[in-house]
Copies of this chain bind each other. A is one copy, B any other.
Amino acid sequence: MKSDFNAYNYLLQHDIKPSVQRLAIINYLYEHRTHPTADEIYAGLIDQIPTLSKTTVYNTLNLFYQQAAILSLTIDDKNVRFDIDTSDHAHFKCLNCGKVFDVPAVLDSVTAIALEHGFIVAEKHLYLKGYCSSCNESPNK
């Protein structure tokens, strides 16, 4: 079963010129919905593209973000994480295992409030932190 995701067209739709590196990175994000860091993406692709530079990963992710092809998450105070899903949803980070999960959420009301205050909203980030069901059942500390 092959992926129905057309990385090439996805990049073109966001005015990004495709390249081997860019296609690999966007595909990685499509296949790994774990909200990976730049370093994790680099580690996941270095075998496939042995010449890959970490700078390219950072440059490319910044480009994707500027073109609104991906989200940039600051739920972690150490690293920025990335998400190919740009639809309206929230994120939950487990303080025990560190995993970041998706949580369905509608944030229209908050945008409306911001508008009432004269703010023009370009991005909305809802970050929840606590303990996921696995860690809650068998706490590791």
Q: Chain A: residues with CB nearer than 8 A to chain B?
A: 72, 74-77, 80, 90, 92, 94-95, 101, 103-105, 107, 110-111, 113-114, 117-133, 136
**B110 and A122 contact, CB distance less than 8 A:** no
**A118 and B105 contact, CB distance less than 8 A:** no
Closest to A136 in B: B120
**B129 and A126 contact, CB distance less than 8 A:** no
What separation, in Å, do the CA atoms of A95 and B75 have in the docked complex?
18
Closest to A129 in B: B123
Q: Which 3 A-B pairs have the closest CB atoms?
A: A118-B133, A122-B130, A123-B129
Q: Shortest distance in angstroms between A133's beta carbon and chain B's nearest beta carbon?
A: 3
